[in-house]
Amino acid sequence: MSDVVSYVIDRNIAVITVKNPPVNALSQAVRQGLLDAIRQASGDESKAVIIHCEGRTFIAGADITEFGKPHAEPLLPDLLNEIEACGKVVVAALHGTALGGGFETALSCHYRIAVPEAKVGLPEVKLGLLPGAGGTQRVPRLAGVEAALDLMLAGAPISTEHAMQLGLVDRMADGDLREAAMNYAQELVESGAGPRRASEMDGESVDDAVFDAAAAMVAKRARGQSAPPRIIECVRTAMATGFSAGQKRERELFTESMSDPQSAALRHVFFAEREAAKVVGLSKETPLREINSVGVIGGGTMGGGIAMSFANAGIPVRLLEISEEALERGLSIIDSNYAGSVKRGKLSEDKAQKCRELISGATDYGSLADVDLVIEAVFDDPELKKTIFAKLDETCKAGAILATNTSYQDVDEIAKATNRRPDVLGMHFFSPAHIMKLLEVVRADKTADDVLATTMALAKRIRKVAVVSGVCYGFIGNRMLQGYFREAQLCLIEGGLPETVDAAMVDWGMAMGPISVGDLAGLDVGYKARQALPDHERGDPAAFRVPDVLVEAGRFGQKSGKGFYLYDPDTRKQSPDPEVQTIIEREAAALNIERREIPAAEIVDRLIYALVNEGFRILEGGIAQRPGDIDVVYIYGYGFPAWRGGPMHYASEVGLEKVLARIVEFRDRFGEDHWTPAPLLEKLVLSGRSLADWTER
């Protein structure tokens, strides 16, 4: 066959084995090997066929690295139709994660056997695509329309047990998978079962209301995304027409999705997230330190969430607070978080209990003497942090990693409070820390390579998406956020209202509007930070006059029941407050600002290009390793729509020349304090280059 697909006959059964590490992706060579193998099996003396894979997983999908290149024969749908048409029983043997085109390959086989811990799924929607190799046609015929829609619209993998309940997997393998598949194939031959083709099954007739309900759900939950409606259209066609007509429609819509900018953006994010885990210049052979126990200092919202992130990964945590009372408060936050996760079905009662038992409390630093890693998560006061790190330096064992969860402060300065600067770095979690996936790993000037490598590996272990940042005020995300929030406030005082500024950004795709985010985080947080700065460093008074007036009136946001909006005390539902409109108009007048109607497009461009402009400065300053890292930060930490690829990908899609022109227009209208174009952006545009030309530093 080939070096990626082998073929043997064992006890009269043709065994086709795929070996294409790391995930047995369906590259052209694998597809050709499978085609040659199934044709050979159709013509030789074998009685049945099994298809299985070596390595850690059954085929995990089409080869995404081939996307965007000219289609190479054999096309996957044609290959799978040929596998299904085989006159002998074909059994797929599944382990690991049989996803996308991999699961579609299994569905084109006549029977499926899987190990208990295998997962199967059709995650194409997460790439802005749809199952384009018969999945939209075979799954409804095997499992019914509603299950098919759930599987393809959520894109989440399901267990072997669940797949068996749906009729997508026939047998659970115990012991060696290959042997179990051989025995199953023998059993089928001896029973005279014969090939069972999904394409020959009739679909169930369902009421149109099922599809309408799915369409309504995606319009809400996947607002602005183009792939989900295409998936619904494919399944609707599957049930209304025969298999070949349905597959023709699937092919048309798949081709459409492949050239959709949303898919290009989502594929960019897929690879950017994995690229972000790689640190330029750090050898893959860098030895890692053992992390088997963690200390967390500070049992507030952040400390509690951080403690849970480690406990949920099975790592014991010691939570340190300054008093028994504060400790009790911290532990009760954790208890209620776990109760919430169980209530929402995110964790079983048993799993929550096991995780909770891994978190113990203490009030003395001595209890941290033997932990492998300490994460300080106290109030963002630099002096307090230095005091804590000096104490940790005295207390913790040699080799312990000391991390600060600071959102803004200078990690180099914090490290100087110790005699072990190589062991110090930043681990900036995002609230709520047990849910948000982003982790900014802040590399201080003396952070040792093995400390950095250990932390990056640990991030994967606690299921976080890690991005390395250099040291600057606000690192990557919060530094860029300042311009974003500044423009939101300026648009507000220049003519907008909280609900119009928010609506512009939410309609564009942001998970939450900037004004609502301020109310959620607490307007008093920014207020205190500004009060700590000398007047000349506080920035444009027009950009914070209104929030300051609200804070001074006791309107902190959700936490106080009112901020820019009013919040229902029970449901926390927000509603506009005419009093705030009066305040905005009054403050605008006091600043001689003549309010005007601001188009949504202007709001979007000012807020997004403020992010982009600062992103270019972060790149040229070496704070971020690559543009994709910045995209990952905004998608996983700030609710930026993944189907727009992140701020830097979005700027590339718009065209850097257009972005620069719009920033220059804003500079001419609003002044160069806020709108001086980043030199790197100007340089790329002047030299006719794009971010794709970005060279790693």
Q: Sign of dihedral through CA atoms 683, 689, 694, 697?
A: negative
Find the binder of ligand T1G among 79, 109, 129, 308 (CB under 6 A): 129
Q: Give, in degrees to the nearest 5, the angle at Cα 639 between 495 and 571.
A: 75
Q: Is 101 in the site for ligand T1G (CB under 6 A)?
A: yes
Task: Supply the minimum distance, in Å, between the C-beta of residue 132 and ligand T1G.
Answer: 4
Contacting residue, 86, 133, 147, 584, with ligand T1G by CB under 6 A:
133
Q: Taking CB under 6 A as the rule, does residue 84 contact ligand T1G? A: no
Residues 6+ positions from 211 with CB-CB distance below 8 Å: 145, 149, 232, 235, 236
Q: How far is the CB of 520 from ligand T1G (least distance, A)?
A: 31
| The pair of three-digit structure tokens given for residue 382, joined into one six-digit string | 């630099």
Pick 115 or 320: Cβ nearer ligand T1G: 115
Query: In this complex, which beta carbon is closest to ligand T1G, that of residue 23 or of residue 481?
Result: 23
| Residue 628 touching ligand T1G (CB under 6 A) | no
Does 153 contact ligand T1G by CB under 6 A?
no
Phi–psi pair at 569, nearest 5 degrees = -60, -25
Minimum distance of ligand T1G from residue 78's CB (angstroms): 12
Buried b (16+ CB within 10 A) or exposed e, 600-621: bebbbbbbbbbbbbbbbbbbee
Is 366 within 8 Å of 387 (Cβ atoms)? no
Q: Which of 183, 286 has the CB closer to ligand T1G?
A: 286
Q: Which of residues 257-296 bind ligand T1G (CB under 6 A)?
A: 274
Candidate ranges 33-41, 54-62, 475-483, 643-651; the one touching ligand T1G (CB under 6 A) = 54-62
Tokens 């012991």, located at residue: 175
* Binding flag, residue 61, ligand T1G (CB under 6 A): yes
The correct pick among 18, 23, 456, 515 for binding ligand T1G (CB under 6 A) is 23
Contacts of residue 9, Cβ cutoff 8 Å, sequence gap at least 6: 15, 44, 45, 46
CB-based contact 272:628 (threshold 8 Å): yes
First-to-last alpha carbon distance for the chain, in angstroms, is 43
Q: Does the protein bind ligand T1G through residue 63 (CB under 6 A)? A: yes
DSSP tag of 696 = -
Contacts (CB under 6 A) with ligand T1G, residues 527-566: none
Find the binder of ligand T1G among 7, 58, 90, 100 (CB under 6 A): 100
Q: Give the nearer residue to ligand T1G in terms of CB position, either 97 or 613.
A: 97
Geometric angle at alpha carbon 657, from 652 and 661, rounded to 5°: 120
Rg of the chain taking only CA atoms, in angstroms: 28
Nearer to ligand T1G, 30 or 302 (CB): 30
Single residue of 37, 99, 266, 583 touching ligand T1G by CB under 6 A = 99
User: CB under 6 A: which stretch of 127-135, 487-495, 571-579, 629-637 binds ligand T1G?
Assistant: 127-135
Stretch that binds ligand T1G, among 18-26, 295-303, 508-516, 650-658 (CB under 6 A): 18-26
| Nearest-angstrom CA–CA distance, 163 and 157 | 10
- Catalytically active residues are 104, 124
How many Å apart are CA 487 and CA 606, to the nearest integer?
A: 6
Selected binder of ligand T1G within 1, 9, 64, 457 (CB under 6 A)? 64
Q: Does 65 bind ligand T1G (CB under 6 A)?
A: yes
- Whole-angstrom Cα distance, residue 155 to residue 534? 50
CB 110 within 8 A of CB 90: yes
Which is closer to ligand T1G, CB of 109 or CB of 352?
Answer: 109
- Alpha-carbon distance 607 to 486, whole Å? 8
- What lies within 8 Å, CB to CB, of 281 at 6+ separation is none
Cis check for the bond before 641: say yes or no (omega within 30 of 0). no
Angle ∠(415,421,424) on CA atoms, nearest 5 = 65
CB of 225 to ligand T1G, least distance (A): 16
Question: How many of the other CB atoms lie within 10 Å of CB of 66?
Answer: 15
Stretch that binds ligand T1G, among 39-47, 92-100, 162-170, 207-215 (CB under 6 A): 92-100
Q: Segment 168-227, which members bind ligand T1G (CB under 6 A)? A: none
Please give the full DSSP string across 591-658, using - where no structure is assigned. TT-------HHHHHHHHHHHHHHHHHHHHHTTSBSSHHHHHHHHHHHS---GGGT-HHHHHHHH-HHH
> Least distance to ligand T1G from the beta carbon of 66, Å?
8
Residue 144 engages ligand T1G in binding (rule: CB under 6 A): no
> Quick one: 131 or 496, whose CB is closer to ligand T1G?
131
Q: Is 22 in the site for ligand T1G (CB under 6 A)?
A: yes
Nearest distance from residue 397's CB to ligand T1G, in Å? 32
97 touches ligand T1G by CB under 6 A:
yes
Min dist CB 309 to ligand T1G, Å, is 17
Q: Is 228 a binder of ligand T1G (CB under 6 A)?
A: no
Task: Between 114 and 133, name the residue whose CB sits nearer to ligand T1G.
Answer: 133
Q: Which stretch binds ligand T1G (CB under 6 A): 132-140, 159-167, 299-307, 361-369?
A: 132-140
- Work out whether 366 is an interface residue with ligand T1G (CB under 6 A): no
Q: Is 148 in the site for ligand T1G (CB under 6 A)?
A: no
Total binding residues for ligand T1G by CB under 6 A?
24
DSSP string across 54-122: -SSSS--SB-GGGTTSPP-SSPHHHHHHHHHH-SSEEEEEE-SEEETHHHHHHHHSSEEEE-TT-EEE-
Per CB under 6 A, residues contacting ligand T1G are 22-23, 25, 60-65, 76, 97, 99-101, 104, 123-124, 127, 129, 131-133, 135, 274
